[in-house]
Copies of this chain bind each other. A is one copy, B any other.
Amino acid sequence: MSFINETHDINLKSWVASANQAGTDFPIQNLPFAVFRRKGTNEEFRGGVAIGDQVLDLAAVAQTGIFSGDAQVAVEAANAQVLNEFMGLGQTYWSALRLALSRALREGSEHQTTLANALVPQADVEYSMPCHIGDYTDFYTSIYHATAVGKLFRPDNPLLPNYKWVPIGYHGRSSSIDVSGQAFHRPKGQTKAPDADTPSFGPCKRLDYELELGIYLGKGNELGDQIAIENAENHVFGFCLFNDWSARDLQAWEYQPLGPFLAKNFASTVSPWIVTTEALAPYRTQWHRDENDPQPMEYLESSHNREAGAFDIQMDVLLETAKMREEQQPAAKLSESSFKHSYWTVAQMVTHHTVNGCNFLPGDMLGSGTQSGPEHEEAGSLLELSRGGKESITLTNGEERKFLEDGDKVIMRGWCEADGFNRIGFGSVEGTVLPAK
């Protein structure tokens, strides 16, 4: 695969010892970006890169002057409270900085002493949104999720005829997206029981998570310009974990004919770390369209997309109830899935989104849609795992759940593995349900 370069080499070791430990999310081959500051201070938030259990402070790196050229331009852009400017620079600059960081953090680097002063333990920092998300679009790319949810909302018509032709997406709300650690009050709203004549009002009774990836746009496009599929990935800066909290009872009553609204916009949570598209190169995989299914229209088709357009990003969901926290029990795993099951690739999402001339700005985000796998146990939401609230799930400590209860903390993790390459990880995205106000 032509995407592989020296930064992916499994033999690279870092002078940051924790980056070389087996199982770390953040070996030197990863180098994801976040925005951080020291916890409990009034420091300015600024860009940082994860290395082992440390954050490399990009504001400090920018000041050292050890980089030059495109890498220095990039690190200076990343010395900001949001990474939009850096993300807007484009692939050449992202790669230059990645290469410079990889070399400077390697064992034997001449910059070790200088950069050691720019490290902050991850345990001592807090994160903010990595960028300003101007617009956020949520896709619906897991056919397993679309079919399972479709069965619950429309038993006679689960998968609509457009699904296999159109990468279905809809616009989401940006203002209520926050970074991991978000705690939000259970939303209130209108719901209507199937057997009721009129709707009623109150706290959501079917609160759910959705296991998704967030995909950040880097360089944008002008209004009216289409991004061809061959060029689509050059616009994709990187990926994060994304929990698209959902109020299923509100959704069922409100969503026709114009789509989900209050069922989705009360809170959405992203992981602090953005794993770059370049870091994910070793975990690319073939994208396959079943020969019995419609093949993609020409604008959504490319040989590169067939050969390497999918990403095998593994994800899981854990639930930590209030009781588990009290009794210091570990969180219970609910399910595990992979983005490789996606019916549409990231390149197809980007190209479809702009085929009508719609413009992206740096920092815009696409949600992948809930990434449920082919098996029931691989479902990315409680709605699916509980079969529409009909079956309780028994947690490891004996507690039961159909939907989320107050005090529940949902934890999502992501990681990649491939023969001949390191494991890299996404860290986690966590969020907690507070009682309705």
Contacts and interface: CB of A to CB of B under 8 A. Distances in A.
A247 B250 CA distance: 28
Nearest 6 CB-CB pairings of A with B? A259-B259, A187-B356, A170-B258, A171-B171, A266-B356, A258-B259
Interface string A198-235: 11010010000000000000000001111000000000
**Copy number in this complex?**
2
A265 interface: yes
Contact of A356 (B137, B189, B352, B355): B189
18 contacts: A137-B173, A160-B256, A168-B257, A170-B170, A170-B260, A170-B261, A171-B171, A171-B172, A171-B265, A173-B358, A175-B359, A176-B223, A178-B223, A189-B355, A201-B299, A223-B267, A258-B259, A266-B356
Nearest to A260: B258
A190 B166 contact: yes
Contacts of A225: 437
Given A153-B257, A199-B165, A297-B201, A173 B356 contact: no
Interface string A116-141: 00000000000000000011011010
Nearest to A434: B224
Interface of A: 134-135, 137-138, 140, 150, 153-154, 160, 162, 165-166, 168-176, 178, 184-185, 187-190, 192, 198-199, 201, 204, 223-226, 247, 250, 253-262, 265-267, 294, 297-299, 352-353, 355-361, 364, 437
A156 to B, nearest CB: 13
A208 to B, nearest CB: 14
B262 A176 contact: no
A357 B437 contact: yes
Contacts of A166: 190, 199, 253-254
A267 B173 CA distance: 18
Given A169-B258, A259-B257, A261-B169, A184 B357 contact: yes
A170 B259 contact: yes
A175 B266 CA distance: 21
Contacts of A255: 257-259
A256 B256 CA distance: 9
Contacts of A256: 160, 162, 257
A266 B135 contact: no
Nearest to A221: B175
Contacts of A223: 175-176, 178, 184, 266-267
Contact of A298 (B140, B153, B201, B224): B201
A138 B169 CA distance: 16
A64 to B, nearest CB: 34
B190 A297 contact: yes
B226 A437 contact: yes
Nearest to A140: B258
A309 to B, nearest CB: 19
Contacts of A153: 257
